[in-house]
Amino acid sequence: MISTIEGQLKEKNGKSVILETGGIGYEIFVSSRTLKELNEFNHSIKLWTFLSIREDRMELYGFLNKEELDFFHLLDSVAGVGPKGALAILGLSDLTRLKAAVFQEDSKFLTKVAGIGKKTAERIILELKNKIKDIENLPALESDHEILDALVELGYSAREAKAAIEKIPDEAQGLEPRLKSALKSLSKK
């Protein structure tokens, strides 16, 4: 099994990179977020990898860190997701937000990925909710509940408040910035 590959980034394609090591160029499929982060060609990088072997092909999947690889394995273990679906989900947001979506049972967030419908999203939540170990590291979790309560207190419906919370950008961290972003979203209506 190939656990890691370290080499020079030679090329970026739509969904993969070519990493050259020992005179061999490996095509490695990566998430859209990872693809954006890998910008320095001909510089040495290290990717954690998973080798998927099917009847008709072998594919390498790459990750910037072990935590991302571990979450990929959890997603891939869910029936109906598969390695490409798991990679697409990882491209949706950072791990903290993805784990929060599972823990908060936010199936709508997961259905933003092409090929992941409501039933599959609910299956992901059902199967992974108890497997996520580092729940205490999910800062958006508590603040989103507080934001929902605050928006309802201000007279918005729970539906409007939830829609505004979903529009909060990942960069907004902490209660106050997230609340401001939600209010800004609601004021545009």
CATH number, residue 59: 2.40.50.140
Same domain, yes or no: 91 and 117: yes
Same domain, yes or no: 54 and 110: no
Same domain, yes or no: 105 and 122: yes
Which of these three, 27, 48, 63, is where a domain ends?
63
Which of these three, 114, 134, 154, is where a domain ends?
134
> Could you give the CA distance from residue 74 to residue 54 in angstroms, rounded to a whole number?
19
159: its two tokens: 């539906």
pTM confidence score? 0.72
Contact 62, 17 (CB under 8 A): yes
> How many other β-carbons are positioned within 10 Å of the β-carbon of residue 80?
13
Same domain, yes or no: 168 and 108: no
Same domain, yes or no: 71 and 40: no
Same domain, yes or no: 52 and 72: no
Question: For every one of its 189 residues, what pLDDT tens digit does the chain have, with 9 covering 90 and above?
Answer: 789 999 999 999 989 999 999 999 999 999 999 998 888 888 899 999 999 998 999 999 999 999 999 999 999 999 989 999 999 999 988 888 888 888 878 888 889 888 889 999 999 999 998 888 765 555 555 567 778 888 888 888 888 888 888 888 877 777 788 888 888 888 876
Same domain, yes or no: 118 and 150: no
**Which run of H or of E encompasses 46?**
strand 44-53
The strand pair at 24-29 and 16-21 is best described as: antiparallel
The one-letter code for the residue type at 120 is T
Q: Print the domain residue range for 74.
A: 66-134
Same domain, yes or no: 70 and 130: yes
Look up tokens 């784990």; give the residue: 99
Which residues are registered as beta bridge partners of 28? 17, 60
